[in-house]
Amino acid sequence: MSTFTNLLFHLIYSTKYRKPAIRSEWQDELHGYMGGIVRDQKGTLLRIGGVDDHIHMLAKLSPTIAISDVLRTIKSNSSKWINERSDVHRKFEWQSGYAAFSVSESQAPAVADYIANQADHHRKKTFEDEFLSILKRHRIEYDPRYVFEREIIA
């Protein structure tokens, strides 16, 4: 028998300490670049969106590459791309973690719409509130002390 897969994922991750570091002037270009990385990882980017402090992606991923490897490649290559820009003057970093949720084909349009409307959504809700509600909706147990990286100011 041949092998068939349809592995759809809603991927979420933020900038380091959720700093507003994704600039609107190059956000679309960044999203396109990330789509190319997903393609290079044998996947298909179906939708990408976000605001200045985080990214949401709906992607179909290959069964031959671990999700953690795909995300590590996307985050490392895109942060390098951002840091090489002449208009970026502070080191850009992504947070160390991420969230990945499986999505059924029947729910993909709703997730894609949700991702497309991030700017409107975040006029009413912070990333932290959004992320915690997503974890709860997916019944993921967490300790609130360790969900978000905190900047240590000496």
Question: In terms of DSSP bridges, do strands 99-103 and 54-60 run parallel, antiparallel, or are they unpaired?
Answer: unpaired
The pTM is what? 0.93
Q: DSSP per residue over 51-93, as a string?
A: ETTEEEEEEE--TTS-HHHHHHHHHHHHHHHHHT-TT--S---
pLDDT of residue 121: 86
pLDDT of residue 29: 96
**Under-70 pLDDT residues of the chain:** none
Task: Identify which of 13, 91, 123, 87 has the alpha carbon closest to the alpha carbon of residue 57.
Answer: 13
pLDDT of residue 141: 93
Domains in the chain with CATH codes:
8-146 (3.30.70.1290)
pLDDT of residue 7: 96
Is residue 102 helix, strand or coil?
strand
pLDDT of residue 94: 97
The neighbour count for residue 53, using CB atoms within 10 Å, is: 19
